[in-house]
Amino acid sequence: MHVLSALSAAVVYVLGIDYDGYIPYFLISVILFILYLFFAAPVQYFLNRKPKRFNLKYLLIYIFFSFLVWLIFAVTTDPKTTIDSLMGYEIYLFSISFALIFWIWDSVFLQNKAKKAAK
């Protein structure tokens, strides 16, 4: 599920920055996989204690944490332009789309598996 999320998010990111090439796509996929593993997996583990497929509350939680991660990276990479980052649409577009991608794959695979195991 993390691999599919990273691959899907990499496609969105590459299309969002309008860049061609296969090498950046591969590198972006690897970086996103690591970020999903470190930041999204703990949230996912917490939410999957009470699995619910396509729950909007879960989506909002994923969006919150996705935005928080983007904000942390914006501040740590260039603190002087953090305000500029917040004024642009990219941070919101990527936060919401990456959370949405993760939420969809989570609902399709893990939430479904948890429901089957409960029966």
Rounded Cα distance between 61 and 24, Å, is: 29
Q: How far apart are the first and last CA of the chain?
A: 22
Rounded Cα distance between 46 and 75, Å, is: 27
User: What does each of the 119 residues of the chain score in pLDDT, given as a tens digit?
Assistant: 778 888 888 888 877 777 766 667 788 888 888 888 898 888 988 988 888 889 999 999 999 999 998 888 777 877 677 677 677 777 888 889 989 999 998 988 875 555 565 55
For the full predicted model, state whether its pTM sits above 0.85. no
Rounded Cα distance between 13 and 7, Å, is: 10
